[in-house]
């Protein structure tokens, strides 16, 4: 990952940040800073990977794939987790 000094907010990215902000907010009047929203999203991604790895001992690969596949985490039967971005 390269470090950048600025983050371009496209319309789509702003919509995603707004949705994520609503999830992170404590109530309808809370407006969390973008850094908190980004930290929560990154933490969720990291914890999701760990949860998937842990579930492999208990559930069959097809079940895990059916439940955990997203546009970000793509699962292949027991072989790997891979990001679909980039």
CB atoms within 10 A of CB 36: 14
Residue-wise pLDDT for 17-65, tens only, equals: 999 999 999 999 999 999 999 999 999 988 988 988 888 889 887 788 7
Please tell me the distance from the alpha carbon of residue 86 to that of residue 71, in angstroms, as a whole number.
12
pLDDT-based confidence at 10, cuts 50/70/90?
very high
Alpha carbons 64 and 75: distance in angstroms, whole number: 8
What pLDDT is stored for residue 24 in this prediction?
A: 94
Give the residue with greater pLDDT, 11 vs 84.
11
Check residues 67 and 31 and name the one with the higher pLDDT: 31
For residues 48 and 54, what is the distance between their CA atoms, to the nearest angstrom? 10
Rg (CA), the chain: 16
């Amino acid at each position: 990952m390269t470090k950048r000094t600025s983050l371009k907010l496209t319309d789509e990215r702003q919509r995603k940040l707004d949705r994520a902000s609503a999830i992170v907010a404590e109530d309808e009047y809370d407006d969390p800073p973008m850094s908190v929203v980004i930290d929560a999203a990154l933490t969720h991604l990291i914890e999701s990977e760990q949860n998937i790895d842990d579930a492999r001992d208990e559930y069959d690969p097809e079940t895990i794939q059916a439940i955990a596949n997203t546009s970000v985490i793509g699962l292949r039967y027991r072989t790997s987790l891979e990001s679909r971005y980039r």
